[in-house]
Structure 1
Amino acid sequence: MTHLVSVITPVHGPAAPYLADAYSSLTQQEMPPGWDWEWLIQEDGETEDVRPHVPEDSRISFDQGRHGRAGMARTMALARARGDLVKVLDADDKLTPGALLRDITVLTEHSGIAWTTSRVLDLLPDGSTVGFEGDPPAGPIAQGAVLERWRTHNYRAQVHPATLCARRDLVTALGGWMALPSSEDTGLLMALNAVSTGWFIGECGLLYRKWPGQSTAQDAHHHEAERRARMKIIEERAEALRELSAWHL
């Protein structure tokens, strides 16, 4: 029996040319015995801009849908997922060698761990990379720890949601990604941490591409009133989930 990790990628037209690099990083992954990946690409919209950039591979599933931002595209892709695990990969990012192997190893060898994140390097337009200071120690991340630090540090998490790998049943139970114009991946990270224990992998698992067309580079992403609203609902949902989790325990 082959186990699957479902790699979920939302994409819109400007980012579509980067799918080739993302695919190359997937094909270079070393998989544990008995494991393979499927790649679920979901266009945010119904244009002719993305399909030409989707590689021909039987492990790839491509679909389109009404425009609703990345959160909706991710969740629509989740509906097609068959894997035991769900892995995030944005269209313009690249996995590092061994990333999936490390995720799967942690989640199969530690039954009490529900999700993983890993170290990230920014990939700059000139091809150079830049790291971050302040990564947590490698190993378990206690339930609620990411949420608490995030809200006491100007809503900046010490682990990157673009590196998430999580048990699919839990992601589904939490409703997938939040219906937000952005920060929907942060919303899922906080929800996961509110109800479960995670794990930080100290090796770099992702090259996070910096380019002018990325959503986080747009002025709208930094609109203060919208940001406050996003952070407020992310925090309130996570707190409600944590209270429900504690009550059921």
Structure 2
Amino acid sequence: MVNIISVITAVHGPSAEFLPDAYKSLLEQQLPEGWEWQWVIQEDGETDAVLPHVPDDARISFGQGRHGRAGVARTLGLSRVAGQFVKVLDADDMLTPGTLARDLAALQQPGVCWATSRVLDLLPDGTTVGFDQDPPEGLIERGEVLGHWTAHDFRAQVHPATLCVRRDLLLALGGWMALPASEDTGLLMALDAVSRGWFTAETGLLYRKWPGQSTSQAAHVQEGERSARMMVVEARARALASFGEWRIDA
């Protein structure tokens, strides 16, 4: 029997040109015996701009849907996910060799429902920059990320773009939040509110910095909307925490 880890990618026209780089990073993954990856690519919109950049590979599932931003696209893509674990990979980012295997190892740890890893920002000139607040490798206790996030101006010590999560829990939480941005942070806080996670200190993602990415736009840091997003994310996480810890079925 083959086990599947499903990699899910939201993409729109401007970022489609980076899909071949993301694909190359998937081809470089070495999975444990009995495991294969599936790549679910979901276009945020219904255009002719993305499909030409989608590689020809039977392991890839491509879909389209009405424009609703990345969170909506990823959540729609969940309808085609075949694996018990779901790995996030933004269209303009790249996994480092060994990332999927390390995520799978982390998710075999007792009580662990989600995994993250170290990130390097990939700058336009090809250089990389790390983050100075990485936690130690190992278990992340329930509520730990939310505590750090609220104490550090809504900046978490782990990056939501590196998430690998149990599919059943992801579905139970409703996928990604219906927000114009920070929908992945909303998911991370929800996961942290109800379950324990894992941080891998070895770099797992190259996070591309380029002018077209949504987080580089002025609207992303507009204070009124940012405050509203953060309030909803925090309130949801605290409400979920009141229901107790998610239990993994044996």
Deviation at residue 79 of structure 1 after TM alignment: 1.4
d(CA) in 2 for partners of 1:89, 1:51:
17
Taking structure 2 as the reference length, the TM-score comes to 0.97
Residue matched to 2:130: 131
Residue matched to 1:202: 201
d(CA) in 2 for partners of 1:51, 1:206:
24
Residue matched to 2:88: 88
2:73 corresponds to 1:73: yes
Equivalent residues in 2 for 1:26-37, closer than 5 Å: 26-37=26-37
Residue matched to 1:192: 191
* Misfit runs of 4+, over 2 Å: none
Residue matched to 2:179: 180
d(CA) in 2 for partners of 1:86, 1:146:
20
Residue matched to 1:55: 55
Deviation at residue 246 of structure 1 after TM alignment: 6.1
d(CA) in 2 for partners of 1:125, 1:88:
22
Deviation at residue 111 of structure 1 after TM alignment: 3.1
d(CA) in 1 for partners of 2:88, 2:119:
13
Q: Deviations over 1:122-167 (max 9, x none)?
A: 0011111111111000000000000111011110001000000010
Helix, strand or coil: the match of 1:104? helix
Helix, strand or coil: the match of 2:29? coil
d(CA) in 2 for partners of 1:122, 1:87:
19
d(CA) in 1 for partners of 2:79, 2:173:
13
Residue matched to 1:14: 14
d(CA) in 2 for partners of 1:245, 1:76:
27
d(CA) in 1 for partners of 2:140, 2:105:
16
Helix, strand or coil: the match of 2:139? strand
Gaps of 5+ in 2: none
Q: Deviations over 1:78-97 (max 9, x none)?
A: 11111010000000000000
Gaps of 5+ in 1: none
d(CA) in 1 for partners of 2:221, 2:80:
32
Residue matched to 1:144: 143
d(CA) in 2 for partners of 1:101, 1:9:
18
d(CA) in 1 for partners of 2:246, 2:41:
37
d(CA) in 1 for partners of 2:202, 2:78:
27
Residue matched to 1:24: 24
Deviation at residue 247 of structure 1 after TM alignment: 11
Report the count of equivalent residues: 247
Is the contact made by 2:120 and 2:207 (CA closer than 8 Å) also made in structure 1?
Answer: yes
d(CA) in 1 for partners of 2:246, 2:73:
32
Helix, strand or coil: the match of 1:36? strand
d(CA) in 1 for partners of 2:148, 2:122:
26
Helix, strand or coil: the match of 1:90? coil
Residue matched to 2:111: 112
Residue matched to 2:169: 170
Equivalent residues in 2 for 1:39-50, closer than 5 Å: 39-50=39-50
Deviation at residue 245 of structure 1 after TM alignment: 1.4
Which amino acid letter does the alignment assign opposite residue 34 of structure 1?
Answer: G
d(CA) in 2 for partners of 1:241, 1:80:
26
Q: Deviations over 1:30-67 (max 9, x none)?
A: 10110010000000000000000000000000000000
Deviation at residue 24 of structure 1 after TM alignment: 0.2
